């Protein structure tokens, strides 16, 4: 079974926004949809964060590819604006499956725990990464450490 894990930046890195409706956001969704259509995964794994994770889930949904949603701990979204919390709730409902990767409470390394769980449940990785440090790079480094094939879709996408 071909399972692709997506990882990428939160806004405003790489020009993405919290609205998920800007021209850059929509171009990102288009690029991810085309890549999904080309790779034809059976399942997509996403982390539920604002920004690229949400856009990748939308792209999978629009391509009629099931997605599993991995959330780092209960209450992860508690400090988000209401609209973003509603979007995550909708993602939970639209997901093939969703799960918390830890019972919490918040600890900084729980984002990496989530990333590693998603990678371990996948056969390849696609990222939206500008080369900067952070959670996306950490996820990529873990995927590389286990020999996973990684495609950076940001190289094909818009530049800010």
Identify the pLDDT of residue 159: 47
pTM of this structure:
0.94
Residue 61 pLDDT > 70, yes or no? yes
- What is the CATH classification number for the domain harbouring 111? 3.40.50.450
Calculate the average pLDDT of the chain: 95
Question: Could you give the number of structural domains in the chain?
Answer: 1
Query: Containing domain of residue 119, as a range?
Result: 3-156
> Which whole number is the average pLDDT over 142-160?
85
Residues 6+ apart with CB under 8 A from 67: 43, 44, 45, 46, 56, 57, 60, 61, 94, 95, 96
Instruction: Give yes or no for residue 56 having a pLDDT over 80.
Output: yes
* 160 pLDDT above the threshold of 50: no
Tell me what pLDDT residue 29 has: 97
SS (H, E, C) the chain: CCEEEEEECCCCHHHCCCCCCCHHHHHHHHHHHHHHHHHCCCEEEECCCCCHHHHHHHHHHHCCCCEEEEECCCCCCCCCCHHHHHHHHHHHHHCCEEEECCCCCCCCCHHHHHHHHHHHCCCEEEEECCCCCCHHHHHHHHHHHCCCCEEEHHHHCCCC
Across the range 115-142, mean pLDDT stands at: 97
């Amino acid at each position: 079974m071909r399972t692709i894990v997506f990882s990428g930046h939160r806004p405003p890195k790489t020009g993405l926004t919290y609205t998920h409706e800007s021209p850059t956001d929509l171009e990102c969704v288009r690029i991810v949809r085309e890549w999904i259509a080309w790779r034809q995964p059976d399942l997509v794994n996403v982390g539920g964060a604002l920004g690229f994770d949400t856009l990748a889930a939308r792209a999978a949904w629009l391509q009629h590819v099931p997605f599993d949603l991995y959330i780092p701990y209960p209450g992860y979204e508690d400090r988000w604006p209401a609209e973003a919390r509603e979007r995550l709730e909708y993602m939970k409902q639209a997901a093939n499956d969703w799960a918390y990767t830890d019972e919490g409470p918040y600890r900084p390394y729980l984002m990496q725990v989530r990333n590693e769980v998603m990678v371990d449940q996948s056969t390849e990785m696609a990222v939206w990464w500008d080369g900067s440090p952070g959670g996306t790079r950490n996820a990529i480094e873990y995927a590389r450490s286990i020999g996973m094939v990684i495609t950076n879709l940001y190289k094909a996408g818009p530049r800010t």
